[in-house]
Chain A
Amino acid sequence: ETGVTQTPRHLVMGMTNKKSLKCEQHLGHNAMYWYKQSAKKPLELMFVYSLEERVENNSVPSRFSPECPNSSHLFLHLHTLQPEDSALYLCASSQEAGGGYEQFFGPGTRLTVL
């Protein structure tokens, strides 16, 4: 595997379900990010982890819960979502302090909440 991978690629869930999105980066980076991309809107940053520590929580509802067990893996735990949470969820990674600073993105998980 190379780059940034995300699973699943597509997810349909009910409002009462609990699911998790997984992201893995194979680039040796030390920062990881979750973004939300809704139709007709710019990408919105949700969470930033740097050296496995959360450094940004961008006023995201508590029904989204991130987890970063190590520098290569990032999860987004979902529970009791709303239909307006349907979107493309993108994970990214970057190398901070000495890297090129560009963020490399995964292919995204397209989430539909019924």
Chain B
Amino acid sequence: AQKITQTQPGMFVQEKEAVTLDCTYDTSDPSYGLFWYKQPSSGEMIFLIYQGSYDQQNATEGRYSLNFQKARKSANLVISASQLGDSAMYFCAMREGRYNQGGKLIFGQGTELSVKP
């Protein structure tokens, strides 16, 4: 069963507008973490934001925020005030279990975001 689902293969957004990238996950472990990464055409994976399963508040990092809805098992990424440099692939990832001996990240298939001038 797929553990991380990103249903939007591609998205377009106008510069300066906000955009939401969807991510749903599946786990029975009460302890898990959710991550979003950005991958520009250069290939490097850039960490954006993290949400722990026990965190009470939604994570925010600058223009990035994570809309965490635990009951729905969704962890959508919201990018406010899009910039041309935001055009990239975006991956949602999940890590299950205790953080003590190397973490296995499970990635979704990604969403390609294109920001239009």
Residues of B within 8 A of A108 (CB): 43-44
B35 to chain A, nearest CB (A): 6
A96 near B44: Cβ-Cβ < 8 Å: no
Contacts between chains A and B (CB distance < 8 A), count: 71
Pick from B17-25, B80-88, B95-103 the stretch touching chain A: B95-103
User: Contacts A41-B109, A42-B108 known; A48 to B102 CB distance under 8 Å?
Assistant: yes
A31 near B44: Cβ-Cβ < 8 Å: no
A101 near B101: Cβ-Cβ < 8 Å: no
A92 interface neighbour in B45, B99, B110, Cβ under 8 Å: B45
A107 near B50: Cβ-Cβ < 8 Å: no
Binary flags per residue of A85-114, CB closer than 8 Å to B gives 1, else 0:
000101010101100111111111010000
How far, in angstroms, from A104 to B45 measured CA to CA in the complex? 8
How far, in angstroms, from A3 to B91 measured CA to CA in the complex? 20
Query: Contact size class for A?
Result: 20 to 34
B101 interface neighbour in A43, A55, A106, A107, Cβ under 8 Å: A55
Q: How many residues of B contact A (CB 8 A)?
A: 26
B47 near A102: Cβ-Cβ < 8 Å: yes
A49 to chain B, nearest CB (A): 7
User: Contacts A45-B105, A104-B47 known; A96 to B91 CB distance under 8 Å?
Assistant: no
Which chain B residue shows the least CB distance to A99? B99
Residues of chain B in range 20-70 having any CB-CB distance to chain A below 8 Å: 33, 35, 37, 42-47, 50
Residues on A facing B (Cβ under 8 Å)? 31, 33, 41-43, 45, 48-50, 55-56, 88, 90, 92, 94, 96-97, 100-108, 110
Residues on B facing A (Cβ under 8 Å)? 4, 33, 35, 37, 42-47, 50, 91, 93, 95, 99-110
